[in-house]
């Protein structure tokens, strides 16, 4: 996990370098180090981790969005921190690199990408559930160009999200993949105009947030855990989730709202 340049930190309220705001029922987490290409410092890793903690604990938040202050999404690890011997601090317990690549969570997370998401930046995107990207953005794991190995999940997650040969090419050449190609292959859910990724991500978040929170949470978990699981385990988990949903207050509300031809009022219970 590398970055091509670093600069002075840009102070921000959350974790010194990470902004958190709630908008339209969505928690928007912003890496706010534009002069450092939004590279991951120890403070950013802690900030992202604490922002996700806050969003997960807030019942009003249905969806999370992770983005970076333009012109880039994230250029990976902060070389200045690495050079100072602070490499281990770029990971958090349970969260891994940037406080997110190994993080277990319940609520959907959308990456809103403007500009470059390279090295650890791509690995952060791979850890998200959905991706919205500006048409001029790009992804890549260029570690091999510097004699390194991408250690934030990119080497095995890219092959789950791209055709295997394309993932292998990206891993072995270190060359970037542009957003239009990523969209064609399903890595990017929504392609926006330059400067429009966050607004498009909020639109996608609203499409999720109108649904029952418990059903969304359980559906996400099965997709994450069982897409590559054996059939017996996948069916077991599916039936468990169905039983949980059918016993909820929300399923009663959903049926009643349909009968009364009105929007449902979800409680998440």
Catalytically active residues are 123, 143
Sign of CA dihedral 139, 218, 204, 201: negative
- What is the spatial distance between Cα 41 and Cα 120, in angstroms, rounded to a whole number? 12
- Which structure tokens are listed for 192? 């926006």
With beta carbons less than 8 A apart as the criterion, state whether 37 and 6 touch. Answer: yes
Under DSSP, the state recorded for 40 is B
| Main-chain dihedrals φ then ψ at residue 91, nearest 5 degrees | -115, 155
- Which structure tokens are listed for 141? 């794991």
Sign of CA dihedral 61, 65, 66, 72: negative
């Amino acid at each position: 996990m590398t970055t091509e340049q670093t600069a002075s930190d840009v102070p921000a309220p959350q974790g010194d370098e990470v902004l958190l705001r709630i908008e339209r029922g969505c928690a928007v987490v912003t890496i706010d180090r534009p002069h450092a290409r939004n590279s991951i410092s120890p403070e950013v890793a802690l900030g992202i981790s604490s922002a996700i903690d806050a969003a997960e604990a807030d019942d009003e938040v249905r969806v999370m969005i992770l983005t970076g202050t333009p012109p880039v999404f994230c250029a990976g690890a902060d070389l200045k921190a690495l050079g100072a011997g602070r490499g281990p601090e770029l990971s958090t317990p349970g969260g891994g690199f940037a406080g997110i690549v190994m993080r277990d969570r319940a609520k959907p997370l959308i990456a809103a990408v403007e500009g470059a998401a390279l090295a650890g930046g791509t690995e952060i995107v791979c850890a998200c559930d959905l991706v919205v990207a500006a048409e001029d953005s790009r992804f890549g794991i260029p570690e091999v160009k510097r004699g390194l190995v991408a250690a934030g999940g990119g080497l095995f997650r890219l092959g789950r999200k791209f055709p295997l040969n394309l993932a292998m090419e990206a891993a072995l050449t270190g060359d970037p993949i542009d957003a239009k190609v990523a969209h064609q292959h399903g890595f990017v859910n929504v392609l926006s105009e330059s400067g429009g990724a966050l607004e498009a991500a909020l639109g996608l978040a609203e499409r999720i947030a109108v649904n029952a929170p418990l059903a969304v949470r359980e559906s996400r978990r099965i997709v994450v855990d069982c897409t590559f699981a054996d059939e017996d385990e996948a069916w077991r988990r599916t039936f468990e989730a169905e039983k949980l949903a059918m016993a909820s207050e929300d399923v009663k509300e959903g049926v009643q709202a349909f009968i009364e031809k009105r929007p449902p009022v979800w409680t998440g219970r």
